[in-house]
Structure 1
Amino acid sequence: MAIDGVKIIDSDDGHDIYNAIVEQYKDGVSIDTIISEILSEEQNFCTDEFYTEIYWTAVAYSLWKIGRLTADIKQKALDIIAQSPHEFWLEIDDKAPKQRQKVLDKLAVQLQSENPKPLKVRKSKTKREPHFKVGDVLAVKFKDNYGAIFVSDVDLSPRKIEYHLACTRLLQADKPSMDDFLNSQICCRKDNTNFGIDTDCWFTHKDLGVLLDDLEIIGTVELYPCKLWKLAPTGTLEDIYNEITDEPRRGRLRLIDTYELVKEVIQK
């Protein structure tokens, strides 16, 4: 774990904890669910006394930041703070223990009173509906030909809608049918029934909306669970085309039959 400084979230674990709590809160997840999930990770984070200090101070600070600190978590953090900084801070820097103590003292004061300016969740004025759902199979119209892709994931929250579009290697003159899609191939890592899709395009709701005239649902499938190995953001029709036609990259990746990813064809 990287330690960038002595502040409460100046570490990989601290950042992970803060993001898990604050980002979910912004997305409208219930506070009971957020607390339950982060506490269920205690054993994973608290592998020794040093990481226990990191965990409980980050959890308490994050909940205080959103104005939802509970009495039991506050007390747990205060008990940790009362023990003074762990001796491992000295191995990071000879000045770190003293600097960390100042940070902990400030946190103790904060935790014993409510945050006067807690983070607020902005409510969306309009409810947006996603353009597509997971499992939708899409024909993509390029200038001179067609491709076939499918929606592998939709990240839906009050603040955003993002889509992961998995690109098969199919490219042909006519609009593809579901049979064409099922008989195509895709760059994908396979381990028994576990799949990792290598040709994944990530679109925002706005960027994908610009391309709707070039996309047409030709069917729907139920997919086996798929991990997404490529998570680089994209935003144009050209990005999809490049995923389909990237021949040099194709030589370094394994091709499988697309139908292997399909658990069931729901609609043709």
Structure 2
Amino acid sequence: MAIDGVKIIDSDDAYDIYNDIVERYKDGIDVELIKKDWLNEESNFCTDELYTEIYWTALAYALWNIGHLDEDIKNKAMEIISKGASKLWNEIDERAVKARQKALNKLALQIQSENPRPIKKPKPQKRREPYFELGDVISIKFEDKYGICFVSDLEVRPRKIEYHIACARTLQDFEPTIDDFVNSSIAYKKMNTEFVLETDCWFNHKDLGELLPYLKKIGRIKLKPYSLGVLSPADSLENFYDDITNKSELWPFKTIEISEIIEEILEN
């Protein structure tokens, strides 16, 4: 996990903890459930002295920011802070321990009193429904060609809908069918026994909505178990086109026939 600096929220782990707590709090998730979920992650995050310090301070800081830091977590964070910044920070920079200690001292002052301006929950928004569902196969209408893609992952939350869309490596002159998709290939790589898709356009709800005139659902499928190896933000048809036509010389990947990895056609 990357550590970018000595601030309380300045590493992959700290960002994961802070962002999850704040976003779920804003989504209206019960705070006690959020705490329970993250306390259950202690053994996964506290792998050594340095990451134990990062875990407990990030947890305390996030909960303090939303106005729900309890005594047990505060006391655990204060216990960590009282030991001083881990000497393992020196492996990042010879001056890091001193700078980290300043950040810890500031945090100690903060969490010993209530946050005067905690993050507030936004007003509930009208529920939105996603445009597509996981596994939906979609034709893409370009200026003079058609492409094919499918929804490889979907996150639906009260304030956010995000779509991950994986493109088949095909362009054709006529509107595609589900059979055209099944007979196409897709970029992938194999890591141990895991199948990893090496194609991905990531859209928010608003941006994908603007492209709906060019998109049409043509079926729904279920692939054999896979994970996403590329997470590329997107907001235009050009992102689809680039994903379909990119070259393996620029981004190393192999291709595989979709017919080899499909588990079931759910809708045709």
Contact 2:86–2:97 (Cα < 8 Å) also in 1 = no
Alignment of 1:60-209 (within 5 A): 60-88=60-88, 92-93=93-94, 96-97=97-98, 100-190=100-190, 194-209=194-209
Match of 1:149, SS state, is: strand
Per the TM alignment, residue 168 of structure 1 is displaced from its structure 2 partner at its CA by 0.5
Change (3 A) 1:182 1:55: same
Instruction: Output the CA distance in 2 between the equivalents of 1:95 and 1:134.
Output: 45
CA distance in 2, matches of 1:184, 1:85: 54
Unpaired segments ≥5 residues, structure 1: none
Q: What is the letter of the counterpart of residue 4 of structure 1?
A: G
Shift of 1:162: 1.6
Q: Which residues of structure 2 form unaligned runs of 5+? A: none
- Over residues 1-27 of structure 1, what are the superposed CA-to-partner deviations in whole Å (9 max), with x where a residue is unaligned? 53523x422444333332232233234
Most deviating of 38-47 and 190-199: 190-199
Query: Aligned-pair distance for 1:191?
Result: 5.1
* 1:96-142 CA-partner distances (Å, limit 9, x unpaired): 44x55554444334323322211112134332211101110111122
- Matches of residues 35-46 of structure 1 in structure 2 within 5 Å? 35-46=35-46
SS of residue paired to 1:125: coil
Q: Give the corresponding residue for 2:5.
A: 4
1:35-86 deviation per Cα after TM superposition (whole angstroms, max 9, x unaligned) = 2232222223323334323322221111111111122112212222333444
SS at match of 2:170: strand
**For the residues of structure 2 that align with 1:251 and 1:111, how far apart are their CA atoms?**
46
* Helix, strand or coil at the partner of 1:115: coil
Distance (whole Å) between structure 2 residues aligned to residue 12 and residue 238 of structure 1:
30
Distance in 1, matches of 2:140 and 2:182, equals 15
Deviations 1:147-198 (A, max 9, x none): 2111111122222212111111222222111111111111112357632111
- Name the residue aligned to 1:266: 266
- Over the residues paired in the alignment, what is the CA RMSD in angstroms? 2.7
How far did 1:216 drift? 1.0
Cα distance between partner residues in 2 of 1:181 and 1:94: 56
Q: Between Structure 1 and Structure 2, how many residues are aligned?
A: 266
Please state whether the residue corresponding to 1:256 is helix, strand or coil.
Answer: strand
Separation in structure 2 between the aligned mates of residue 191 and residue 104 of structure 1, nearest angstrom: 39
Quick one: distance in 2 between partners of 1:170 and 1:117?
Answer: 53
Query: Given the alignment of the two structures, is residue 57 of structure 1 paired with residue 35 of structure 2, yes or no?
Result: no
Query: What amino acid does structure 1 have at the position aligned with 2:240?
Result: I
> Tell me, what secondary structure is at the counterpart of 1:169?
coil
Q: Partners in 2 of 1:205 and 1:239 — Cα distance?
A: 16
Q: Percent identity?
A: 51
Q: TM-score, normalised by structure 2?
A: 0.86
CA contact (8 A) 2:248 2:254 kept: no
Once residues 135 and 109 of structure 1 are traced to their aligned partners in structure 2, the CA distance between those partners, rounded to angstroms, is: 49
Alignment-derived partner of residue 225 in structure 1: 225
TM-score, normalised via structure 1 length: 0.86
Q: Distance in 1 between matches of 2:192 and 2:260?
A: 11
Cα distance in 1 for partners of 2:82, 2:263 equals: 55
Q: Distance in 2 between matches of 1:181 and 1:101?
A: 56
